[in-house]
Structure 1
């Protein structure tokens, strides 16, 4: 889309009374043509707000360990576009740039013109031994850098097949890169990890991966929603005093159960005779947030292990309520149904899928799965994909079995915990 058309779209949508967000990479005014867009808005009296951004001219060198300014190396910073306006015959004024002396030069959108830029600087009198760098795909897990000199940089970039997007940095500060390098030294500094989580759930996994340096891509292929007019759940709540055990295999089920209690105006003190069991720490935490201590949690955090524990602990006369997702394979309920436990399984929520139109999975990516349903959702949302190329790291054998069924290359976490899953991700990267 040409810039003039973008300007018109912004104006038209704003004049219709809509709130319009024009999202740009980096800063909207640093070769981002934000000023051109504002001119048309000002002409028609359209109010606007500017949110400054961090330009790649600063952020990309920072991720490569290059401070664009340093009192011992440079007294100024100059940012130049290597991409000229269409039809413009003006060349970069290299003599003026070289005449600045000890400075840092950052060229944006100039990868294709790297040889011309370096030749222009040399012809203008710059010392050929001046440190220079080209930085490709900065701030991502795929970032690459070449540190050389103005004279040797083009040849080195060609050897390593450096491409776009990228920026060029010239100046003594480039020599600090190896000393100050930090991004790629983090445990997951070179990893791109796709986290498959329901969109309505905050992911502690994503936060921990990010803290370890991973480029995290959130792929919310599923979302959960309570079953409407759930007569089975209402009947169970009305007779809740009859149950000795209530089993939860997910935090979603916990929230729906207690919210439904409130909506049915059933006093929480009706649960005085109930004992509570959780499949793992996250589910236990959700129960304890409601002010109730969990009576049982298995040492291994699987539905099957929870079921086996209850089989031993429940008395023959005990009624056991199990809250499960609708139309999903519940190993907890399935196992208990083969025992003498007096169980009632009640579906309380649905798992719905949505199409993915934005995330492209690369062969070097690691995809994490925390349940079999997230695997199924991933398969549904990723159309026309060769799943044999997917590196899957899974929690639990049931999840791994589902991923294997679709031909993925599977690694299973040693324990059914987020921390163990992360350890497996780190091992996969190594």
Structure 2
């Protein structure tokens, strides 16, 4: 019987860019994922669809599952021979009760590993321009749990904390903010000592309230704050306005949903994050190669008779070359044909295969591809078109009208996807998503299928081309179209939408 193992993985403070490389590697191999409420949505979106999910809640006093039961779940799943990832917000060993979870595993001889995470106590102040140490202000930092068990007094030596003259970071202490400030003042802290409450740091909902220990509670009540949030006390808090950098990024404070085919990396998401957006990458469609590729294989037998081979997606390219290899052929068999691609993304995948593209339309859609290729035809040319089963029929019509003999061969199906961890419909209805980015009409349809909303008028849609925009228009979305059908133009469109 396969022996199970447990990984305690720190998911960091929220921004997926702060999730560690090792954490991502371990997560991708998980068979069971036990996760809590403080894990960022960007990280949750990376949980493999093959993994079994166990939600244990854990936020402040609202626990879906008691800690003792969580410990038991980890043990039982590992005893079944599973690769178990315990995914925890922040770091597993910093008030994450990771040590408690290891005790039962150790007693029962279950192997485990610890993958540290970036802690909010350091990262959240950093995203707010607050260095927790600075030689001009302090030489130490102290991290304290602000959580107090129901009906019990604080077991905190406030006098000792004040005497350190260091930066104090309280985690899980918002409910007791008044008591914490009172305790520090009673212990002799200067009422004018700078202090801050930092809300949902490293995410689009990041917010800070800076005041003094004497006025912080009053200021938080006036400005409002949401949890999770941390409390920082110390002279370094006065640097926040001077060193604040996150809010200066062009997309700071915006949460953007990027729809894409499953398994395809997104440069769009990378560029949006670089500009400060919190990006949710959720596949709205999945491509499934057809089991029967006999029609394509037959075309390979007469591949030298084709004058053009036309690719309309990266997926189409990959399946084509996978089947070509199975047929014991390589790129030399394509020597007599010219190659057309619908856009730069498809062309890039072809270039990676050693093929330089002969034709790309100025506008990256099927109709424009057909029109651009029709100009090159004299009549009678054989054209091979390996693509999705439900492809754009205007492309074929245009080529046939110009006399092209088109072999329109389906090689894959497009299937709509839905996340079991993130409820996008709720995010849209609560106005949590500022913009949705669509790179094809099929991703629009996949998004609609997966959300099932009655009203899409709340959705602000950034679309890469006219066909994509038309699909979004059909559902009543607030649509915008990039000037060019490129990733850079699409990202700039999102910036323009934010600043409109």
Query: By the TM > 0.5 criterion, same fold?
Result: yes
Counterpart of 1:62 in structure 2 is 126
Between structure 1 and structure 2, the one with the greater Rg is 1
Counterpart of 1:158 in structure 2 is 221
1:48 paired residue among 106, 112, 115: 112
Counterpart of 1:343 in structure 2 is 406
1:229 equivalenced with 2:305 (yes/no):
no
Distance in 1 separating the partners of 2:330 and 2:443: 35
Distance in 2 separating the partners of 1:341 and 1:254: 21
Counterpart of 1:278 in structure 2 is 341
337-346 or 140-149, which moves further after superposition? 337-346
Counterpart of 2:492 in structure 1 is 423
Distance in 2 separating the partners of 1:15 and 1:342: 61
Counterpart of 2:13 in structure 1 is none
Cα shift at 1:399:
0.6
What does residue range 92-131 of structure 1 map to in structure 2 within 5 Å? 92-100=156-164, 102-131=165-194
Give the 3 Å change call, closer, same or farther, for CA 331–187 of structure 1 in structure 2. Answer: farther
Deviation readout 1:180-215 (Å, 9 max, x if unpaired): 111121122222111111112111111222222221
Cα shift at 1:66:
0.6
**Contact in 1 for aligned 2:269/2:279 (Cα 8 Å):** yes
Distance in 2 separating the partners of 1:66 and 1:227: 54
1:251 equivalenced with 2:320 (yes/no):
no
Deviation readout 1:47-105 (Å, 9 max, x if unpaired): 211122221111111111111111111121111111123453344332222222x2111
Give the 3 Å change call, closer, same or farther, for CA 85–41 of structure 1 in structure 2. Answer: farther
Distance in 2 separating the partners of 1:108 and 1:406: 44
**Contact in 2 for aligned 1:324/1:330 (Cα 8 Å):** no
Give SS of 1:388's match. coil
Give the 3 Å change call, closer, same or farther, for CA 385–120 of structure 1 in structure 2. Answer: farther
1:388 paired residue among 457, 463, 482: 457
Stretches of structure 2 lacking an aligned partner (at least 5 in a row): 1-64
Question: So what's the TM-score if we normalise by structure 1?
Answer: 0.95
1:316 equivalenced with 2:379 (yes/no):
yes
What does residue range 191-202 of structure 1 map to in structure 2 within 5 Å? 191-202=254-265
Give SS of 1:22's match. strand
**Contact in 1 for aligned 2:383/2:405 (Cα 8 Å):** yes
2:240 paired residue among 177, 189, 203: 177
336-345 or 417-426, which moves further after superposition? 336-345
Counterpart of 1:269 in structure 2 is 332
Counterpart of 1:375 in structure 2 is 444
Distance in 2 separating the partners of 1:127 and 1:194: 45
Distance in 2 separating the partners of 1:54 and 1:88: 30
**Contact in 1 for aligned 2:365/2:467 (Cα 8 Å):** no
**Contact in 1 for aligned 2:379/2:402 (Cα 8 Å):** no
Counterpart of 1:206 in structure 2 is 269
Give the 3 Å change call, closer, same or farther, for CA 272–389 of structure 1 in structure 2. Answer: same
Counterpart of 2:11 in structure 1 is none
1:186 paired residue among 225, 249, 252: 249
Counterpart of 2:471 in structure 1 is 402
Give the 3 Å change call, closer, same or farther, for CA 385–81 of structure 1 in structure 2. Answer: farther
Distance in 1 separating the partners of 2:192 and 2:117: 34
Give SS of 1:387's match. coil
Cα shift at 1:267:
4.7
1:84 paired residue among 142, 148, 156: 148
Counterpart of 2:359 in structure 1 is 296
**Contact in 1 for aligned 2:255/2:277 (Cα 8 Å):** yes
Structure 1 stretches of 4+ with a deviation exceeding 6 A read: none
Deviation readout 1:383-408 (Å, 9 max, x if unpaired): 34632211110111111111111121
**Contact in 1 for aligned 2:133/2:140 (Cα 8 Å):** yes
Cα shift at 1:358:
2.2
Counterpart of 1:326 in structure 2 is 389
Cα shift at 1:330:
4.5
Give SS of 1:299's match. coil
Distance in 2 separating the partners of 1:385 and 1:183: 35
Counterpart of 1:366 in structure 2 is 435
1:146 paired residue among 198, 206, 209: 209
**Contact in 2 for aligned 1:356/1:382 (Cα 8 Å):** no
**Contact in 1 for aligned 2:366/2:392 (Cα 8 Å):** no
